[in-house]
Structure 1
Amino acid sequence: MFQILKTENTINFMRWSRFAFVLSVLVILGSFASLATNKLNWGLDFTGGTLIEVGFEQPADLELIRESLDADGFGDAVVQNFGTTRDVMVRLRPRDGVKGEQLSQQILASIEKGTQQKVEVRRLEFLGPAIGDELTEAGGLAILASLLCILAYVSMRFEWRLATGAVAALAHDIIITLGIFSILKIEVDLTIVAALLTVVGYSLNDTVVVFDRIRENFRKMRKGDSPEVINSSITQTLSRTLITSGTTLFVVIALFVVGGANIHGFATALLIGITVGTYSSIYVASALALKLGVVREHLMPPQIETDEEFEQMP
């Protein structure tokens, strides 16, 4: 158990709550603006289409590949490096009347003609648009169901002001993570959905730890006002938060650096989500609960009258 810290050892986190609130609002508005204009770069899991990964003996000229594909009628193809400059990924949306294998052969022929190099196929995937629509619906329902379950959980476990702060922090983390993905044009596939669900669980766990300490300190610290109790609670749990976040980030950074292109998006989402989630547990969840007016009386257990007290009543 953490020990109750003295006032002089407590970090005044709530001193910066107003600045943090303005910062969060600006970042969320920027995320919404990016999602409305740039939208998300949906992967083949959601749109359907063909994905081809090829390897070259020499560094590939992406502009030359794009020009060759454009000349052969594939101007909508997305061409980018992955891993090294000799590895190229080409993504195309579905084409009516053209089978996936036939389309891949046409793409390979166009690339070899334009670059005058022999290429090696590393990966070839086909996905129909109907399956993509089903995955889009299933992924959205998974996130929605998890948020509803979390809303029910925190509503039963905490007083409504704390529960509102916890739910707001979760929405804050998801919106900002998706906004950064929209700005950076990172491809969103099923691994990103899994990462978002992981971020939701991680952020909620951190918030619940802080809220448990806030509730405990409201009952122990009889003389402190709400800001003092919240600052003391966050300070007491700060070492646990930093150690947990730090060790998790070490693993995620390793996945990001050496995990390969297939889980690059997953690791990126976790890096963003864990960082933002640690911030939101302090300056969104706790600060919002304070703004909503949480006080000691809201968190004290209800008084139950004993039989003797009932008999003494007039």
Structure 2
Amino acid sequence: MFKPIRFIPDDTKIKFMLLSRYGYFASGVACLAAILLFVFVGLNYGVDFKGGTVFVIRTEQVANLDELRGKINGLGFGDAELQEFGTGGHEVLIRLPAIEGGEDVQRVVQDKVKQVLGAGVEYLSIDVVGPKVSGELAQQSIMAVLIAIIGILIYIWFRFEWQFAIATVMSLLHDVLLTVGFFCLIGIDFNLQIIAAILTIVGYSLNDTVVVFDRIREYLRKYKQLPLADLIDVSINSVLPRTLLTAVTTLLALIALYIFGGEVLKGFTLAMIWGIFVATYSSIFSAASLLALLGVNRDAIQIQPSGSKAAAARP
């Protein structure tokens, strides 16, 4: 019989609450830097939010995205976004950023693109995304993130208690803010794919946080006299193997996707890779330490029915 490999010991005794004071400082500095980057540098908004011209084309041969991108970028109209559209590799979606000058300039852009792509290309559609449409997309994207966070607040409030809900939402806002600051820093196009990545990061971070909180609530019933800070340390240590192994396996898949997934997916996967680091950090240091600051009503925890143990919380 082979013994299972333990990359992380089951009996770790890391003093997370003692380290959390440094975590507060690091998170505060990082959040402040993210806000300053957003205010003074800003996001590099993509076509989805700035407007521009969108082509859908069909090629006779299987499309070579790198070759097409090189031809279009050579026109000097800005960085083009290309992705395969449909199946078979013959249909391509091309996004070009908006250029000032009205309809006449947009018509020139379209003519130049057609000229550089040459014969053998069928244009299935050509659409101009105006500032009004892109503005609506930006508003809807912000609303999607806010609605998700508000829904999480309500769910955690009913699932646990208000202290758990506040700690969870503050941790999620921390993750979103650091992700936005990261994209301000690196300057990659911020588009709807990144919004999708942020919502995915919120879900991942929530899952990690709920696992920790479920174990804390379980131990609040089990160790009634243990000080809250020590109980949180025991809880985090007990789920640490599960948390880190989940993060590592997810990162392996994302790194492979970043390397082999093509240019179109690089922004999404980069956001997810950064988000996994941030979400893992926040679930260990931010959420639980905020709960320690807010305190919990042990009497309310004790009178709740035990129910079934959270299987997902076991390492």
TM-score for the superposition, normalised by structure 2: 0.76
- The 3-state SS of whatever aligns with 1:284 is helix
The 5 Å alignment of 1:178-197 reads 178-197=180-199
Letter in 1 for 2:226: G
Q: 1:202 aligns with which of 186, 201, 204?
A: 204
Q: 1:241 to 1:54 in 2, by over 3 A?
A: closer
Q: 1:105 aligns with which of 99, 111, 114?
A: 111
Equivalents in 1 of 2:232, 2:303: separation in Å?
Answer: 18
Larger mean CA deviation between 92-101 and 195-204 belongs to: 92-101
Contact 1:30 1:179 in 2 (8 A): yes
- The 3-state SS of whatever aligns with 1:235 is helix
The 5 Å alignment of 1:1-314 reads 9-50=12-53, 69=76, 77-79=77-79, 91-93=97-99, 95-98=101-104, 100-106=106-112, 126-294=128-296, 296-301=298-303
Contact 1:51 1:126 in 2 (8 A): yes
C-alpha RMSD of the superposition: 3.3
Q: 1:295 Cα shift? A: 5.9
Structure with the greater alpha carbon radius of gyration = 1
Larger mean CA deviation between 136-145 and 197-206 belongs to: 136-145
Equivalents in 1 of 2:109, 2:80: separation in Å?
Answer: 18
Q: 1:41 Cα shift? A: 1.0
CA offset digits 1:223-276 (Å, max 9, x no partner) = 421111101100111111112111111111111111111111111111111110
Contact 2:81 2:264 in 1 (8 A): no
Equivalents in 1 of 2:266, 2:233: separation in Å?
Answer: 37
**Which residues of structure 2 form unaligned runs of 5+?**
1-10, 56-63, 84-94, 306-315
Q: 1:192 Cα shift? A: 0.9
How many residues of Structure 1 are paired with residues of Structure 2 in the alignment?
Answer: 274
- The 3-state SS of whatever aligns with 1:171 is helix
Q: Structure 1 vs Structure 2: percent identity of aligned residues?
A: 35
Contact 2:51 2:97 in 1 (8 A): no
Contact 1:40 1:181 in 2 (8 A): yes
Equivalents in 1 of 2:136, 2:297: separation in Å?
Answer: 47
Larger mean CA deviation between 156-165 and 232-241 belongs to: 156-165
TM-score for the superposition, normalised by structure 1: 0.76
Q: 1:140 to 1:237 in 2, by over 3 A?
A: same
Q: 1:223 to 1:94 in 2, by over 3 A?
A: same
Equivalents in 2 of 1:166, 1:41: separation in Å?
Answer: 29
- The 3-state SS of whatever aligns with 1:78 is coil
Letter in 1 for 2:99: R
**Which residues of structure 1 form unaligned runs of 5+?**
1-7, 70-76, 84-88, 113-117, 304-314
Equivalents in 2 of 1:27, 1:176: separation in Å?
Answer: 7
- The 3-state SS of whatever aligns with 1:50 is strand
Equivalents in 2 of 1:276, 1:286: separation in Å?
Answer: 14
